[in-house]
Chain A
Amino acid sequence: MDENVILTMRGITKSFPGVLALDNASLKLRKGEIHALMGENGAGKSTLIKVLTGIYPFEGGEIEMEGVEGQAINHSVQEAQERGIATVYQEVNLCPNLSVAENLFIGREPRTKCNTIDWKKMNSSAREIMKNLDIPVDVTMNLENYSVAIQQMVAIARAVDMECRILILDEPTSSLDDNEVEKLFRLMRDLKNKGVAILFVTHFLEQVYAVCDRITVLRNGQFAGEYTVAEMPRVKLVAAMLGKDLDDLASIKAEGSDTVRKDVVVDAKGLSHKGTIKPFDFVIHKGEVVGLTGLLGSGRSEMARCIYGADRAQTGTLTMNGKELKAKAPIDSINAGMGYLPDDRKADGLIGDLSVKENIYLALQARKGMFHPLSPSEQNALADKFIELLQIKTASRETPVNQLSGGNQQKVILARWLATDPELLILDEPTRGIDIGTKTEIQKLILKLAAEGKSVIFISSEIEEMLRTCSRLCVMRDGSKVGELDHDLTQNTVMTAIAGQGKEGEQ
């Protein structure tokens, strides 16, 4: 059986100043298998991958790869690619100001006879690739015009299109909808049948059970075990990841979600933003959690941005607590009591080089104004409170936020908005990349906020998560709001409403 092994990593140790990220971690990949790499936020999954692909040097351990004499240590991403390792990193690292086609072919552009770039060929092959994946993009447009989900698909398409023996996908599905996930899975199964070994990192257990053959679990940078999917029921897997049992996931749905609707907090009439979202009406009451749902590109994020004033609405009015709010810039909405967690963590959320502490207190500071600075002790107290509350794994509160693991970065941004104590919190994919343990905590937190009388607009590509937290869902399609669902919320009714087949979704 072991002849099939294509890659072995043994006893890998890697430390960053103040953190031991990997401590004797191991991994074994076999040809034609889909291998899940699992673990809590900050367990060391991304670091292990970056060690393998030559982004980070490491201190100890061995890497062997079939077809490579001796140690298969990569010193650069190029070297890893030449050895047949294609990677999609957790943080989409494409060039936002290049076109989709350029991003797909960067570093391996098709050439004409005179050795210049063959644009025609490049664009047509790019079109072909995107069409095969059924992704609606104009390949000549700059990548930055598209959502994170599409960017993620482009990154995947790029990796898949390279001839590879090992394909590494670090949380590729974190911002994808079920549809895209299904497309990705089909692709992965094809490659698997061709004998490619696939390493797949995800926090979604269902996805592991849907495609994976084997699971390696990391805990605190250490190898915690390798299992076949068949021998590992969910409960045991979760226990292996956390090192302890988790309370039941399903039991957190709010009691009596049909509570009487009281005071209106935000009432939007005919809001629209040219090119992204058509005029829509929207009402949210005190203590309500409303979900925005729809397919990828249906305008759910755009609607949230429009309500918040991140994109200034061109038509319509928005009243907050009975007063009209004409937000010229986000600060106006913040002062009126809103908070907005954007879906693109890297581009719209993180202030990378600043510390965890600064990232947490910035929004509150902006709300207080430049000339009323928080005292250092207030800043520290605030940071410590949220590091504790959300279990942010960081060496210290002074650590630059871009040194945190993906899931922990997400927690920092969530903390930023919780710190401002807003009346209306708009959360676009708040649990992206967050491990299951903390995810449940965050869902509980949202329901607790609602119980305290705060209102929440919630967007998630995970329908189950919305069902657990929302009491009402707005259904979006093609940039307009097509209906609302407020009773009988089940996976099925929502799915049909989104797809536009059910009558419930229509108005």
Chain B
Amino acid sequence: MKNIQKITRMKLFFPLFCLLLVLLINVVKDPGFFQISVKNGVLYGRLIDVLNRGSEVAILAVGQTLVVAVSAGTDISVGSVMSLSACFTTMLLAGYGVNTTTTIVMPMALGLLAGILMGGLCGAFNGALVSKLRIQPMVATLILFTAARAIGLLLCNNQITYIRYEPYKYLGNFIPGCPIPTPIFVTIVVIVIIMLVLKKSALGTFIQSVGINSRAARLLGINSDFLCFLCYVICGLCAGVAGMIASSRIYCADSNNIGLNYEMDAILAVALGGNSLAGGRFNMAGSIIGAYTIQAITTTLLAMGVSTDQAPVVKAIIVILIVVVQSPVFKSWVETKKNRRRAEIKEAV
């Protein structure tokens, strides 16, 4: 009994529990869920699919977690920034105004890097608005939420630029000879970098301090404004990386569809990870688990034959349930219920 309580009090218990639940439902529905097969030299299977497709959300969740922690607000521009980064990269690689190309005019690595930096630049813009001008995060990021896609469209001369250059597909699909989808590797790299930074520096504690009480943090020697700015830049960079993957998957930059609604999934991932959207304490591992939980839900729904149009409804209901169960109000309600039961039992004895 004691041990069970210890486990349920653990921070990661709930996010993991949700993920397991979703996976369990999947297995019951479709025993083949965990089956992984090899076709054409690459891995296939629903589990692989979740891991692969969940990459963008997981990477976005990393940045979003920091933004939520430091500023008690969300960056709702990440989906649009993904799209802008993708457009920027394809424009650089294909040349302005080119509709479809099989050769690229710039080294691919350079193009990808530029796209990621574009994300960072957008993050810097958001960060400056929030930390220097003290605009509400939601309002500040609303600007790029609406504008970024339009800018992307301009960069692509109002068309969808296709890059039919084989290596450009590697990032979002498979590298020849490797059976595991590349996005999984990218995600691992991003997560490892952020975890190392959090572990090897005091960044995490500083971010939490600023999120909890930025005035006090400043007075004890933390540069609150800069940290806030930094978190938005990191969030932008993450959006850039996610944008590269998304673009590479379809070897084009579809300005209107890349990263569509991804900001919502990223924010939900943070919430599902047991993080308070009021900022302060954060739990990076929780957010990442949350991201895959969301992806698992999406994949399940699609596999169960729920149409793409209706999937969001079911998703919303599930997410509401999970968030409510995690809320402190609900928890304390359960707690008092339990206590009352215990008291009644005592009295009866």
Given contacts A362-B205, A365-B202, A365-B205, contact A330 B216 (CB under 8 A): no
Whether the pair B209, A350 counts as a contact (CB closer than 8 A) is no
B200 CB–A CB distance under 8 Å? yes
Chain A residues, Cβ within 8 Å of B205: 354, 358, 362, 365
Is residue A348 contacting chain B, with contact meaning CB distance below 8 A? yes
Residues from chain B with Cβ under 8 Å of A398 in the complex:
none
**Cβ–Cβ contact B212 & A362, under 8 A:** no
CB–CB A57/B216 < 8 A:
no
Contact of B220 among A353, A363, A370, A371 (CB under 8 A): A363
Contacts A352-B213, A353-B212, A371-B201 given; indicate if A362 touches B281 (C-beta within 8 A): no
**Cβ–Cβ < 8 Å partners of A351 in chain B:** 208-209, 212-213, 216-217
Are A340 and B219 closer than 8 Å at their CB atoms? yes
B280 close to A329 (CB less than 8 A): no
B220 contacts A350, C-beta separation under 8 Å: no
- A366 closest partner in B (C-beta): B221
Establish whether residues B222 and A350, one from each chain, have CB atoms under 8 Å apart when the complex forms.
no
Given contacts A353-B281, A362-B205, contact A334 B221 (CB under 8 A): yes
Per-position 1/0 for A285-310, Cβ under 8 A of B: 00000000000000000000000001
Given A331-B223, A363-B221: A370 and B212 interface contact (C-beta under 8 Å): no
From 147 to 206 in chain B, residues with beta carbon under 8 angstroms from any chain A beta carbon are 200-203, 205-206
Pairwise interchain contact A354-B215, C-beta atoms closer than 8 A: no
> Which of B202, B206, B213, B218 has most A Cβ within 10 Å?
B202
CB of A421, distance to nearest CB on chain B (Å): 14
**What is the CA–CA distance of A348 and B216 in the complex, to the nearest angstrom?**
4
Q: Does A84 have its Cβ within 8 Å of any Cβ on chain B?
A: no
Q: B200 and A373: CB pair below 8 A? A: yes
In Å, the complex CA distance between A416 and B203 comes to 18
User: 1/0 per position for A367-387, CB-CB distance to B under 8 A?
Assistant: 100110110000000000000
Chain B, range 211-242, C-beta contacts under 8 Å to A: 212-213, 215-223
Q: Which residues of B contact A358 (CB under 8 A)?
A: 205, 209
Q: Chain B residues with Cβ under 8 A from A349's Cβ? A: 216, 219
B201: chain A residues at CB < 8 Å are: 370-371, 373
Complex Cα spacing A57 to B217, Å: 33
Interface size grouping (class) on chain A: 20 to 34
Range, interface on chain B: 20 to 34
**Does A330 lie within 8 Å of B202, measured CB to CB?**
no
Known: A365-B202, A371-B201, A373-B201. A354 touches B219 (CB 8 A): no
CB pair A362 B213 closer than 8 Å: no
- Report the Cα distance A57→B340, complex, angstroms: 11
B215 touches A347 (CB 8 A): yes
| Chain A positions 303-344 with a Cβ under 8 Å from a chain B Cβ | 310, 329-331, 334, 340, 342
Query: How far does the alpha carbon of A350 sit from the alpha carbon of B213 in the complex, in Å?
Result: 8
A330 touches B212 (CB 8 A): no
Most chain A CB atoms below 10 A, which of B203, B206, B220, B222: B220
Which chain B residues border A373 with CB–CB below 8 Å? 200-202
User: Which single residue of chain B is at the shortest CB-CB distance from A331?
Assistant: B221
Are B209's CB and A354's CB within 8 A? Answer: yes
Give the CA-CA distance A362 to B212 in the complex, in Å.
13
Asked if residues B209 and A330 are in contact (CB atoms below 8 Å), the reply is no
B124 to chain A, nearest CB (A): 19
A366 close to B213 (CB less than 8 A): no
B257: chain A residues within 8 A (beta carbon)? none
Task: Tell yes or no: B336 within 8 A of A by CB.
Answer: yes
A371 to B198 CA separation, bound complex (whole angstroms): 10
Chain B residues closer than 8 Å to A367, beta-carbon distance:
221
Nearest-neighbour CB distance to chain A for B269, whole angstroms, equals 21
Q: Are B202 and A370 in contact (CB under 8 A)?
A: yes
Q: Considering residues B213, B219, B223, which has the most beta carbons from chain A within 10 angstroms of its beta carbon?
A: B219
Look across to chain A and name the residue whose beta carbon is closest to the beta carbon of B343: A59
Closest chain-B Cβ to A197's Cβ sits at a distance in Å of 30
> Could you tell me if A342 and B209 are in contact, using CB atoms closer than 8 angstroms?
no
Please measure, in the bound complex, the distance between the C-alpha atom of A334 and the C-alpha atom of B220, giving whole angstroms.
Answer: 8
Closest to A340 in B: B219
Bound form: Cα–Cα A136–B150 in Å: 54
A426 to chain B, nearest CB (A): 11
Query: Is B220 a contact partner of A362 (Cβ separation < 8 A)?
Result: yes
Return chain A residues, CB-CB under 8 Å to B216.
Answer: 342, 347-351
Q: Given A330-B220, A340-B219, A348-B219, A354–B202 Cβ distance below 8 Å?
A: no
Q: Please state if B221 and A354 are interface contacts (CB–CB under 8 Å).
A: no
A424 to B269, CA, bound (A): 46
Chain A residues with Cβ under 8 A from B203's Cβ? 370
State A342–B217 Cα separation when bound (angstroms): 12
Nearest-neighbour CB distance to chain A for B219, whole angstroms, equals 5
Kindly identify which residue among B202, B209, B212, B219 contacts A310, using a CB–CB cutoff of 8 Å: B219
Query: What residues of chain A lie closer than 8 Å to B339, measured between beta carbons?
Result: 57
Interchain CB contact under 8 A, B221 and A370: no
Could you tell me if B212 and A416 are in contact, using CB atoms closer than 8 angstroms? no
Q: B215 contacts which chain A residues (CB < 8 A)? A: 347-348
Check B220 against A416 for contact (C-beta < 8 Å).
yes
Known: A330-B219, A331-B221. A354 touches B336 (CB 8 A): no
- Which among A340, A342, A348, A353 is the interface contact of B280 at CB below 8 angstroms? A353
A275 to B: closest C-beta gap in Å: 18
* Residues in chain A near residue B202, CB distance under 8 A: 365, 370-371, 373-374
Instruction: For the complex formed, measure the closest distance between the CB of A328 and the CB atoms of chain B, giving whole angstroms.
Output: 10
Rounded to whole angstroms, the CA-CA distance of A374 and B217 in the bound complex is 18
Q: Considering the chains assembled together, what is the distance between the CA atoms of A331 and B223 in angstroms?
A: 8
With CB as the reference atom, state the residue of chain A lying closest to B276: A353
Considering the chains assembled together, what is the distance between the CA atoms of A257 and B307 in angstroms?
84
**Docked CA distance A272–B211 (Å):** 30
Q: Which residues of B contact A352 (CB under 8 A)?
A: 212-213
Contacts of A363 in B (CB 8 A): 220-221
CB distance from A108 to the nearest CB of B (A): 26
Bound: A334/B218 CA distance, A: 11
Please state if A330 and B221 are interface contacts (CB–CB under 8 Å): yes
Given the known inter-chain contacts A348-B216, A350-B216, A351-B213, please indicate yes or no for A331 contacting B208, CB distance below 8 A.
no
Q: Are A370 and B206 in contact (CB under 8 A)?
A: yes
Q: How far does the alpha carbon of A410 sit from the alpha carbon of B346 in the complex, in Å?
A: 40
* Whole-angstrom distance between the Cβ of B70 and the nearest chain A Cβ: 13
CA distance A348 to B336 in the complex (A): 34
Q: Which residues of A contact B223 (CB under 8 A)?
A: 329, 331
In the bound complex, how far is the Cα of B265 from the Cα of A398, in angstroms? 33
Distance of A299 from chain B, by nearest CB (Å): 18
How many Å lie between the Cα of A334 and that of B213 in the bound state?
19
Which B residues lie within 8 Å of A347 (CB)?
213, 215-216
What residues of A have a CB within 8 angstroms of the CB of B206 in the complex? 365-366, 370
Q: Bound complex: CA of A348 vs CA of B221, how far in Å?
A: 12
Contact (A366, B222) CB under 8 Å given A348-B215, A349-B216, A351-B216: yes
Q: Which residues does chain B contribute within 8 Å of A374, judged by CB atoms?
A: 202
A165 vs B336: C-alpha distance when bound (angstroms)? 30
A-B contact pairs, 8 of them (CB 8 A): A330-B218, A334-B220, A334-B221, A353-B281, A354-B212, A363-B221, A370-B203, A371-B202
A329-B223, A371-B202 known; 16 new pairs, CB 8 Å cut-off, are: A57-B339, A310-B219, A329-B218, A331-B222, A334-B220, A334-B221, A347-B213, A347-B216, A349-B216, A349-B219, A350-B213, A362-B217, A362-B220, A365-B205, A367-B221, A370-B203
